[in-house]
């Protein structure tokens, strides 16, 4: 028996700021899948992720491109915000003014994974761009949700650390959907690739058998090699690529 479907889009048109971004879009994602969304900048990856998130916001940890940190608060407090809804307001206010050892101890192991152990007391506005992105990622992971959606969650991090963090996200969440520009990372850490081109799903395939050159066609407009067709690739997808 297949796992249940978590996300379902059936011939939907999805817009942003009054315009159509994705047209006649159909796809489903099941529990336990690790999916990468790839495509050119402006192709609609972020729009797609937001559409998926809106289907079940309470059960999803969503790491958006913009860190959205509170600049004057410490890295610790910004990460802790991932669990604000799990405590009474009075408890959160107490922890704001007098960081509790219990909560620091909960954040510390994750801060170590993020390479931020020595930055927990530093205000977010004093962190580098890469550090701020790692804090935002930590805040999302700290929500302890089984479903993780990430919009380029490690784009500002060096490649070695990005690999470690992607591996951590994939290993600690049951279902993962990531928009990635780094196609080698998409192939390495995800089991399924959804390629977006010209506002449509141009490729929907299992990672096994795909190559970086295959995915580059989504960016360069080259024809899709026929020998890579499989049960996961839709007819509409191949028409869009060719």
Evaluate if residue 221 carries a pLDDT over 80.
Answer: no
Give pLDDT tens digits for 183-194: 999 999 999 999
Confidence class for position 136, pLDDT limits 50, 70, 90: very high
Determine the Cα–Cα distance for residues 119 and 13; give it in Å rounded to an integer: 43
Residue 129 has pLDDT above 90, yes or no: yes
CA distances from 133 to 7, 114, 152, 219, 230 (A): 26, 10, 10, 25, 37
Enumerate residues 6+ apart whose C-beta is below 8 A from 190: 34, 35, 36, 170, 176, 178, 207
The C-alpha atoms of residue 157 and residue 182 are separated, in whole angstroms, by: 12
74-84, pLDDT tens digit by residue? 999 999 999 99
Could you give the CA distance from residue 184 to residue 173 in angstroms, rounded to a whole number? 21
Q: Is the predicted pLDDT of residue 240 greater than 60, yes or no?
A: no
Range with the lowest mean pLDDT among 17-31, 71-85, 124-138, 175-189? 17-31
Three-state helix/strand/coil letters over the chain: CCCCEEEEEEEEEEEECCEEEEEEEEEEEECCCEEEEECCCCCCHHHHHHHHHHHCHHHEEEECCCCCCCCCCEHHHHHHHHHHHHCCHHHHHHHHHCCCHHHHHHHHHHHHHHCCHHHCCCEHHHCCHHHHHHHHHHHHHCCCCCEEEEECCCCCCCHHHHHHHHHHHHHHCCEEEEECCCHHHHHHHCCEEEEEECCEEEEEEECCCCCHHHHHHHHHCCCCCHHHCCCCCCHHHHHHHC
Tens digits of per-residue pLDDT, 88-107?
999 999 999 999 999 999 99
**Hey, where are the domains in the chain?**
5-241
CATH architecture designation of domain 5-241: 3-Layer(aba) Sandwich (3.40)
Q: Give the per-residue pLDDT at 15.
A: 78
User: In angstroms, rounded to a whole number, what is the distance separating the alpha carbons of residues 234 and 219?
Assistant: 19
**Cα(56)–Cα(237) distance, integer angstroms:** 27
pTM: 0.87
How far apart (Å, rounded) are the C-alpha atoms in residues 183 and 59?
Answer: 27
CA distance 197 to 45: 10
Torsion of CA 83, 87, 89, 92, to 10 degrees: -60
| Residue 84: both structure tokens together | 């604000």
């Amino acid at each position: 028996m297949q796992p249940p479907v978590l996300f379902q889009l059936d011939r939907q048109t999805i817009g942003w700021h009054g315009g159509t971004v994705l047209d006649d879009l159909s796809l489903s994602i099941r529990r336990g899948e690790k999916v990468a969304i790839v495509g050119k900048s402006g192709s609609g990856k972020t729009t797609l992720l937001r559409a998926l998130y809106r289907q079940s916001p309470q059960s999803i940890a969503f790491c958006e491109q913009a860190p959205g940190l509170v600049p004057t608060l410490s890295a610790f407090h910004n990460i802790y915000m991932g669990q604000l809804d799990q405590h009474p307001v009075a408890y959160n206010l107490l922890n704001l003014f007098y960081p509790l050892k219990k909560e620091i101890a909960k954040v510390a192991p994750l801060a170590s994974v993020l390479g931020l152990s020595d930055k927990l007391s530093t205000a977010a506005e004093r962190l580098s761009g890469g550090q701020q992105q790692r804090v935002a990622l930590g805040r999302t992971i700290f929500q302890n949700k089984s479903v993780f959606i990430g919009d380029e969650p490690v784009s500002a991090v060096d490649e070695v650390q990005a690999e470690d963090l992607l591996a951590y996200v994939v290993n600690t969440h049951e279902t993962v959907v990531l928009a990635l520009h780094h196609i080698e990372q998409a192939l390495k850490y995800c089991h399924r690739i959804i390629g977006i081109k010209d506002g449509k799903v141009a490729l929907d395939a299992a990672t096994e058998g795909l190559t970086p050159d295959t995915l580059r066609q989504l960016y360069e407009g080259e024809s899709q090699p026929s020998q890579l067709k499989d049960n996961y690739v839709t007819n509409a997808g191949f028409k869009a690529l060719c």
